[in-house]
Amino acid sequence: MSNQWKAVCNVADIPVLGARVVKRATQPDVAIFRNSEDAVFALLDRCPHRGGPLSQGIVFGERVACPLHNWSIELHSGCAVAPDEGCTQKFSVKVEDGQVYLDIAELNATVDEAA
């Protein structure tokens, strides 16, 4: 994790129990999630199972259900809940004064570099 952060949205811009997508030019998008306790998480917007868009899933607790095959993915780690297996990339998040920031180095890294 670097010491440089990029503001991507306000917490209020993320629906409670939902997600907001951060577009990246040459890499898969990042999904920013907000749970019912206003905790904010960021994952690659791609389920480890079949690449489903996690941003379209339902957030419950600290997990999101993939909209394609209902796999549960832990928001803090990006890993599928057993018996399913696999992980998607997670991103470091910082929230200050209602603003959500992502680590610039992680945001700019290619998927292969981050793995």
> How many CB atoms are located within 10 Å of the residue 26 CB?
6
Tell me what pLDDT residue 112 has: 59
Q: Which residue has the tokens 């690659």?
A: 44
pLDDT for the residue numbered 94 = 96
CA dihedral (105, 95, 66, 53) positive or negative: negative
CATH 3.30.2230.10 fits 5-114, yes or no: no
Residue 17 backbone zone (phi > 0: left; psi -120 to 50: alpha; other: beta): left
The residues spanned by each domain of the chain are 5-114
The pLDDT, as a whole number, for residue 86 is 96
DSSP 15: P
Rounded to 5°, angle at Cα 5 from 22 and 115: 65
Regions in the chain scoring below 70 on pLDDT: 1-2, 111-115
Tens-place pLDDT, residues 50-59: 889 999 999 9
